[in-house]
């Protein structure tokens, strides 16, 4: 099958992490996957949300904010602040990022702290939510390293790295890591969040005026597992490099 990018069906887009992109954040990274680029930052706030105190929930908390900058798409995307409200898609994505990272982190070991994960899309060419999860995990890992170095944490509280990737059915065939053209035309689109030991955190998917068989679903999941493992290996390298720096 021929893809617009010329990639093989099981091939990820070119992936690059640039750590330290936001100097005032506790941890940050620019994730570039093909032509999609997202700045992911993690900032630590001492204390937890009031509802945790009221309900006597111990440990820390992780929450996320996601936005697409006006120049990330064509035509220009209006800022949420100008519209006066956050659009439903952004709310959905930031909840996904928060859920994914809370599954990756030992919140008890984090202690009574809140980690804010901010994901700002500089350029969108499909897969911004999956890039935000993958990059957000790296930003959190870098922030945890900073806390350990400053002796605010005794150890890294990461239980497992997590990464997210899209898969879909395009022209009747399963493909990995959809860019915008493929995402637009796909008959089925899945977003899969996985841990480094191959466990699933979340699977989001639907047919676009189409259905899919159990066999097609299984084929897409296998592609997602392959792509997720490759993304997590890249995360490991970035985080290991930061520790040795």
Whole-angstrom Cα distance, residue 79 to residue 171? 35
- Please give the CATH number for the structural domain made up of 15-244: 3.30.230.70
What's the confidence (pLDDT) of residue 202? 97
pLDDT at position 244: 55
Per DSSP bridges, beta strands 61-68 and 113-123 are: parallel
Nearest Cα neighbor of 197 from 223, 229, 221 is: 229
pLDDT exceeds cutoff 70 at 47: yes
Residue 202's nearest CA partner among 191, 215, 217, 189 is 191
pLDDT at 96 over 80: yes
- Is 245's pLDDT higher than 70? no
Q: Which of 177, 66, 176, 164 is nearest to 122 (CA)?
A: 66
CA distances from 105 to 7, 13, 115, 182 (A): 34, 27, 11, 33
pLDDT band of residue 82 (cuts 50, 70, 90) is confident
| Dist CA 15 CA 180 (whole Å) | 16
pLDDT at 79: 86
Q: Are 7 and 100 in contact (CB under 8 A)?
A: no
Rounded to an integer, the average pLDDT of 102-130 is 97
The radius of gyration computed from the CA coordinates of the chain, to the nearest angstrom, equals 18
Q: What letters, b where the CB count within 10 A reaches 16 and e where it falls short, cover 156-165?
A: bbbebbbbbb
The predicted structure's pLDDT at residue 243: 65
pLDDT classification of 208: cutoffs 50, 70, 90: confident
180: left (phi over 0), alpha (psi -120 to 50) or beta: alpha
Percent of the chain with pLDDT over 70: 98
Assess whether pLDDT exceeds 70 at residue 113: yes
Enter the pTM of the model.
0.95
Mind listing the pLDDT tens digit for each residue in 142-180?
Answer: 999 999 999 999 999 999 999 999 999 999 999 999 999
Residues 58, 49 contacting (CB under 8 angstroms): no
């Amino acid at each position: 099958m021929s893809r617009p990018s010329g990639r093989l069906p099981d091939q990820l887009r070119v992936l690059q992490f640039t750590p330290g992109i936001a100097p005032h954040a506790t941890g940050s990274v620019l994730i570039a996957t093909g032509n999609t680029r997202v700045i992911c930052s993690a900032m630590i706030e001492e204390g937890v949300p009031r509802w945790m105190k009221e309900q006597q929930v111990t440990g820390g908390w992780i929450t996320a904010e996601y936005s697409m900058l006006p120049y990330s798409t064509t035509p220009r995307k209006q800022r949420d602040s100008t519209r006066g409200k956050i659009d439903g898609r952004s709310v959905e994505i930031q909840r996904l990022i928060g859920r994914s990272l809370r599954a990756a982190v030992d919140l008890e070991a984090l202690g009574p702290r809140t980690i804010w994960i901010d994901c700002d899309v500089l350029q969108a060419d499909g897969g911004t939510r999956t890039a935000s999860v993958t990059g957000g995990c790296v930003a959190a890992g870098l922030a945890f390293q900073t806390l350990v170095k400053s002796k605010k944490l005794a150890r890294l509280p990461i239980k497992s790295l997590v990464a997210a990737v899209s898969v879909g059915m395009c022209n009747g065939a399963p493909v990995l890591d959809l860019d915008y053209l493929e995402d637009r035309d796909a008959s089925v689109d899945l977003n899969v969040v996985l841990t480094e030991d191959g466990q699933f955190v979340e699977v989001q998917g639907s047919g676009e005026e189409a259905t899919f068989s159990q066999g097609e679903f299984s084929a897409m999941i296998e592609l997602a597992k392959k792509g997720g493992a490759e993304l997590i290996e890249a995360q490991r390298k970035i985080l290991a490099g930061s520790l040795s720096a």
